[in-house]
């Protein structure tokens, strides 16, 4: 097959779903990876296939190396190879450092750090030449907002993994980048926030609005396709918030 093939973790909802649908619209066959919600994953696949695209839903715990190995095996068997891997699966748990539940810290790090590392490990072994690996980070690593310490720390690790992996893949013609969204209108971001907080964060950037999942998907589409000269970078997709 000449069609490029993409794996999108967390691809059943929010930013991940927007990315899966955008890559499919770009002509890529897409594996929509979900953790527990098969119905949402199937709905994403149906949306893609109804528009003439190719997609499958695959369940996997991104932090489980056996499950991730099986995921790549499934995609290679179905589509013939892997060209693009997008790590969009993630957790966000907020709280002050002084009061933060360490069990929640472990959950955050298991998905956001170990999950990214495990998926990137298989991607580094199996993505074909000319391919791309894109990890989802966050602009909060620079904004330093109170209550975001645990989440930002986990995404700072994602930035480091991305930069180093890009250099480890020297000579393979595979790019590795991170995309760092700002406040984006997803259930993950909006959950637990009152309208005043949402409005304040929307006004924090010069565009004076929240990002939309499609805004982030557009950046990932560039990195997963024509953006071959961008490598080892974290791109801040946040409307200009500083």
Residue pLDDT, tens place only, 41-68: 999 999 999 999 999 999 999 999 999 9
Whether the CB-CB separation of 58 and 33 falls below 8 Å is answered with: yes
Beta-ladder partners of 33? 9, 58
- Provide the annotated active-site residues: 151
Q: What is the pLDDT of residue 201?
A: 87
Integer distance in angstroms from the first to the last C-alpha of the chain? 43
Model confidence over 106-164: pLDDT tens digits? 999 999 999 999 999 999 999 999 999 999 999 999 998 899 999 999 999 999 999 99
Rounded Cα gap, residues 190 and 152, in angstroms = 17
Q: What is the average pLDDT across 85-113?
A: 97
Two tokens, residue 165: 């992996």
Q: Please give the domain boundaries of the chain with CATH numbers for all domains.
A: 5-235 (3.40.50.720)
Angle between helices 65-79 and 116-126 in degrees, nearest 10:
40
Whether the CB-CB separation of 61 and 38 falls below 8 Å is answered with: no
How many CB atoms are closer than 10 A to CB 186?
21
Q: Is residue 74 predicted with pLDDT exceeding 50?
A: yes
Which pTM was predicted?
A: 0.95
Q: What is the pLDDT of residue 106?
A: 98
Q: What is the pLDDT of residue 180?
A: 97
Rounded Cα gap, residues 210 and 24, in angstroms = 25
Model confidence over 165-183: pLDDT tens digits? 999 999 999 999 999 999 8
pLDDT-based confidence at 1, cuts 50/70/90? very low
């Amino acid at each position: 097959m000449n069609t490029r093939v993409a794996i999108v973790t967390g691809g059943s909802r929010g930013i991940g779903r927007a990315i899966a649908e955008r890559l499919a619209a770009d002509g890529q066959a897409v594996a929509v990876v979900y953790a527990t919600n098969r119905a949402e994953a199937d709905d994403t696949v149906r949306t893609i296939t109804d528009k003439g695209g190719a997609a499958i839903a695959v369940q996997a715990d991104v932090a489980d190396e056996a499950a991730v190995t099986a995921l790549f095996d499934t995609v290679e068997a179905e589509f013939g190879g892997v060209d693009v891997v997008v790590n969009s699966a993630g957790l966000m748990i907020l709280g002050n450092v002084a009061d933060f539940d360490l069990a929640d810290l472990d959950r955050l790090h298991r998905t956001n750090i170990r999950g990214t590392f495990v998926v990137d490990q298989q991607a580094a072994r199996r993505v074909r030449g000319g391919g791309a690996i894109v990890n989802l980070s966050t602009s909060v690593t620079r904004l330093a907002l109170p209550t975001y310490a645990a989440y930002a720390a986990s995404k700072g690790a994602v930035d480091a993994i991305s930069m180093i992996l890009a250099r480890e893949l020297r000579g393979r013609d595979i790019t590795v980048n991170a995309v760092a969204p700002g406040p984006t209108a997803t259930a993950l971001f909006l959950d637990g926030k009152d309208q005043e907080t949402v409005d304040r964060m929307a006004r924090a950037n010069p565009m004076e609005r929240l990002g939309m999942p499609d805004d982030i998907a557009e950046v990932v589409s560039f990195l997963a396709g024509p953006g071959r000269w961008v490598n080892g970078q974290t791109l801040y997709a946040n409307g200009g918030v500083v």
